Structure 1
Amino acid sequence: MAAVDADLPARGAVRWVITGVAVLVLLADIVANLVFPESRGTIPQQLLVGYLAFALAMFGWHPRVAAVAVLFGFPLGMWADDISPVIFFATACTGAVAATTARRVLIGYAASYVAIMVVVGVLPDSGWDAVDVFMMLLLAAASFAVGFVVRRVRWNEQALAARVARMEAMLEAAKREERERIGDELHDLIIRDLTIIAMHAKVLERSRNPEQLASSREVIASSSRHALGDLRRVLRLTRTEGSGDWLDGGVELLAPALQAVGSQLGALGIELELDVSESAVEALDPTTSASFARALREAAANVIKHASGSPRVMVRLTDEGRNVVLDVNNAPAPGRAPRRVPVEEDGDLPAGGYGLARMTERFGVLGGGVTAGPDSSGGWRVRAHLPR
């Protein structure tokens, strides 16, 4: 409703058309005075024409100024001893005021117009009797009706345009959210498996240990099956209607993730040490468990990419009262100096930082948080917490 009670000035070409008409009126008066000097009016009357042309032009730029200017034309017409042009102009402009100005401005204009017309009808030397005034009031009412209809049409157009813009913004936001969701799925469920496959493929190239080779082959086979299954699920997400639930479709929980990570790290000669609190396990719901599983997978993949020489990874799940906390620490590789930032151990597996950033956002939505950085021993620590 606020939009209805606001000014609706002309825009674009309409604004310049109104201005052009005002200029043409002024030029026509000047030409008429030059061609027919015997019919030339007095200087006040010539000034009155210029003033009314100015008031007309203002309807294209500042409707409120135009409305006030039209009303001030009445005393100017009395000064020029020619009030009739002002009356006709003000009557016609009632529609323009209704089409372009706010409600309170229109009410003020209408009240002033009626009062002035009553005064004009009462004055004996105005040249306007009661019938003339009544006819002008009828014409003003008709002009008002036309202007009001134009205003409603313009407002409906603007309201529709605003609604379309909001719907387009919502659609774009939904598309962006869906792209981010699919990107998260690809990263969390597929790229990590491909990273593990790539690392164990290098083990097959470089190792001569039969047990390690067999273990790496098993990890590659298992990760390949896991990646294919997850890829089918991501494709299914793109073909189904609705947002769905990211817990649907077999997303793994923390317990199987711990088992899988242990196998992947063990095949690279990295020992996995577990310290799991029983009360923390009891506090896990499916959402919390799945979130911690993804955090564990991300941390383990980063260990494989950036610290494959680490001898040990410690995973702790603790209950800290209001929060359940998952800590993943990897010990530094023997002979390595303490790290200040993550380093890339394998030039074929570039670090992007996407996984940690999105994991931080995801935990933040759930009311938790994620921190990552070097520990005092020179290793790397990822700490994720969620409320109970």
Structure 2
Amino acid sequence: MLRSPRFWEPRTLHPVARLLLIVIIGVLLAVAIGFAVEGGEFTRYDLLAIVFYLGLAAFAWHPMTAAFIVMLISSVGVVFTGSGGDLLELAISLGLVAVTCAPWVIIIHIVVLGALTAYVAVETTTLAAGGVYGIAGIATIAFLVGVAFRLVTARETILVAERARVERDLEALAREDQERIADQLHDGIAHDLTLILFHARALPRQPDDAARQVSLTTIEDSAEQALQSIQSLLSLMRDTTTEAPPPQETRYEGNIIVAIAALSELLRDAGIPVTLDAPSTALDVPPVVERVLIEMAIEAVMNIIKHAPKSRSARIHIDRQPDQVELVVTNVGAPSHRSNLPSGGRGLRRARQRLNQIHGRLQAGPTDGAWELRAIIATESDLNA
């Protein structure tokens, strides 16, 4: 940790240490003022002492400013008074500098202390024999104590930051799981239930046995698919490390041509004539593009069945170009005939998000008396599933 740049970043004192420092400085100021009052005069030594203590108190708010104030006052005291006490105070204050300041400030403090100690040792007789070693020993102890406190503060800061990071990661994982479960509910179960509800309502009004059989078969198949989706969802909820395959990929073999053919049959079974305009062979596109195309096609067809069951016609068109593929699903219907099935608006919102993830574009809305969904996806080779 001592080699970490983050460890040596400037920092403020811990709130407890700040409070303790203020209390100690308050006591020292009271003692200094008491001696001045008792002596009957206020000397320059008393002024230097009070300013020095105020400089120490500034470590509670602005450590770097406080460090230079302390160095300046100590230098003035040593040069003009030759006092060894100022050296001692400067050596002790090295502990506060080591706790709070950047390395270059610590180095300046040590250089100033060394220069002043050398000055006193050469120019005055204030220091007793071995006084230089005493100052060096006190400074070393103060520095080590300061580094120890800095280590404790840094570890606490790192632990708090790590805990916050873990909380953010857990929240992100929870949101991701919620989105996966919601996608499973919407893309699988909700679509199947839409078909079941539509054909269950249409069943009593079917004109002949063949039409009723189509509705019954659709209800049965959709119910089976819904059960499979529920089992997949339960597996996803029990084991979040295993991602369940998307329902549409399982149903349509991950092939958009197969998917739109099957979806066209669903529209015809619902009584909506469909025009299918698509290549006869599989599209040569990355798997992620084909998967998103399937999602777009399912969403568009289910919205037609869900919100425009009386549409006069529908059209599914796929245009494969060298650098992109375009899916267009259009339905023409009277605005007065709308289903009363609920809609949360999630489908188109998630469709747009999925397209944005692979740099695609989605356009959906009314056009020329119809409703059109248009998805355009680039087919660069660097898209990965």
2:348 aligned partner, one-letter code: L
Distance 2:294 2:258 in 1: 8
Worse-matched range after superposition: 293-302 or 131-140: 131-140
1:331 aligned partner, one-letter code: V
Preserved CA contact (<8 Å) 1:45 1:80? no
How far does residue 311 in structure 1 lie from its aligned partner after superposition? 1.9
Scaled by the length of structure 2, the TM-score of the pair is 0.88
Pick from 332, 336, 351: which aligns with 1:359? 351
How far does residue 115 in structure 1 lie from its aligned partner after superposition? 0.2
Worse-matched range after superposition: 233-242 or 209-218: 209-218
Q: Which residue of 2 aligns with 1:379?
A: 370
Asked whether 1:350 is paired with 2:342, we answer: yes
Distance 1:294 1:136 in 2: 77
1:288-367 matches, within 5 Å, as: 288-333=289-334, 345-347=338-340, 349-367=341-359
1:173 aligned partner, one-letter code: A
Q: Which residue of 2 aligns with 1:204?
A: 203
Pick from 19, 28, 37: which aligns with 1:16? 19
Q: Deviations along 1:276-335, whole A, 9 cap, x unmatched?
A: 1246x24145433332222111101111122111121111122122112221111233xx
How far does residue 82 in structure 1 lie from its aligned partner after superposition? 7.1
How far does residue 197 in structure 1 lie from its aligned partner after superposition? 1.7
1:346 aligned partner, one-letter code: S
Distance 1:251 1:147 in 2: 67
1:112-261 matches, within 5 Å, as: 112-124=112-124, 127-129=126-128, 131-207=130-206, 209-242=208-241, 244=243, 246=245, 250=250, 252=252, 253=254, 254-261=256-263
Worse-matched range after superposition: 5-14 or 50-59: 5-14
Aligned residues: 373
2:299 aligned partner, one-letter code: E
When the two chains are superposed, the root-mean-square deviation of aligned CA atoms in Å is 2.5
How far does residue 71 in structure 1 lie from its aligned partner after superposition? 1.3
| Cα 1:294–1:8 shift into 2, 3 Å | same
| Cα 1:203–1:247 shift into 2, 3 Å | closer
2:203 aligned partner, one-letter code: L
Distance 1:362 1:321 in 2: 22
2:278 aligned partner, one-letter code: V
Preserved CA contact (<8 Å) 2:36 2:46? no
Q: Secondary structure at the match of 1:250?
A: helix
Preserved CA contact (<8 Å) 2:264 2:276? no
Q: Secondary structure at the match of 2:330?
A: strand
Scaled by the length of structure 1, the TM-score of the pair is 0.87
Asked whether 1:98 is paired with 2:91, we answer: no
How far does residue 246 in structure 1 lie from its aligned partner after superposition? 3.6
Distance 2:271 2:250 in 1: 29
Q: Could you tell me the percent identity over the aligned residues?
A: 28
Q: Which residue of 2 aligns with 1:339?
A: none
Distance 1:374 1:145 in 2: 74
How far does residue 3 in structure 1 lie from its aligned partner after superposition? 1.6
Distance 2:209 2:251 in 1: 33
2:151 aligned partner, one-letter code: R
Q: Secondary structure at the match of 1:374?
A: strand
Worse-matched range after superposition: 240-249 or 201-210: 240-249
Worse-matched range after superposition: 103-112 or 200-209: 200-209
Q: Which residue of 2 aligns with 1:340?
A: none
Q: Which residue of 1 aligns with 2:383?
A: none
1:317 aligned partner, one-letter code: I
Distance 1:245 1:321 in 2: 32
How far does residue 46 in structure 1 lie from its aligned partner after superposition? 2.2
Q: Which residue of 1 aligns with 2:382?
A: none
Worse-matched range after superposition: 74-83 or 42-51: 74-83
Q: Which residue of 2 aligns with 1:369?
A: 361
How far does residue 181 in structure 1 lie from its aligned partner after superposition? 1.7
Distance 2:118 2:99 in 1: 24
